[in-house]
Amino acid sequence: MPHLRRPRPDPELLGLFDESGRNVQRAALILRDLLADYPERAALARDMLVIEQEGDRIVHDILHRLAERGSRKTHLDPNDVHALAGALDDIVDFVEEAADQLGRYGVEAPMSQAEEIAELLVAAAGEVTAALHELRNGMDLGPHIVEIHRLENDADQLVRAAVAQLFAHGIDPMIVIRWKDIFETIEESVDACERVANVLEGITLKQRSRR
């Protein structure tokens, strides 16, 4: 029985994931800056829209590359490629949505809780970017995956506390509703970072089993 060669890593596909990670990090950084100085830096929301469109372009290129190569010609499971591309796209989509909510809801001043949640997002996005770079280079993703899970747990606790504070302080109900929505949208982007980590963890386990 002839020995079946394992598919080799596709540098172009891995490069696209690396590019997607950098795009995720840019989105998180812009949202942090936007939340720290809103509405003075409201124009950054336009930059976010460009980043969201770039994310869509990268996803399209990833799926096109997968179709072009075929499932037997890439070392990554096609389902994992789809799941990873989708989770990365979700991060940017939620970040862009949070930026849009600031203008749509007529936010007049930033809130420190939103800035704190955004800082956790920036950290999680940085870990996603680093993990995708390690995936490209065939290095260990484990520490990045563990840190993303930790950051997601921290963000979850922070959002719960921030929402509780909104209701406890008895401020205008419309302000409560608006900021609760914004907090939870930022949290969704951190959750999407964790979905990226879950897919990467699955990829790592599959690669170990093939050795």
Virtual torsion, Cα 197, 201, 203, 204, nearest 10 deg: 130
Helices in 1-141 by DSSP H: which ranges? 11-36, 44-69, 78-104, 112-137
The 8-class DSSP code of residue 169 comes to: T
What's the pLDDT tens digit per position in 179-209? 999 999 999 999 999 999 999 999 999 887 7
Q: Give me the pLDDT at residue 158, please.
A: 97
What's the pLDDT tens digit per position in 98-134? 999 999 999 998 899 999 999 999 999 999 999 999 9
Tokens of 208: 């170990």
Domain ranges of the chain: 11-209
What fold does the segment set 11-209 form as a domain?
Methane Monooxygenase Hydroxylase; Chain G, domain 1 (1.20.58)
Contacts of 39 (CB under 8 A, 6+ apart): 102, 107, 108, 109
Average pLDDT, the chain: 92
Of 53-57, 69-73, 111-115, the poorest mean pLDDT is in 69-73
Q: Report the greatest alpha carbon distance in the chain.
A: 74
What's the pLDDT tens digit per position in 8-19? 889 999 999 999
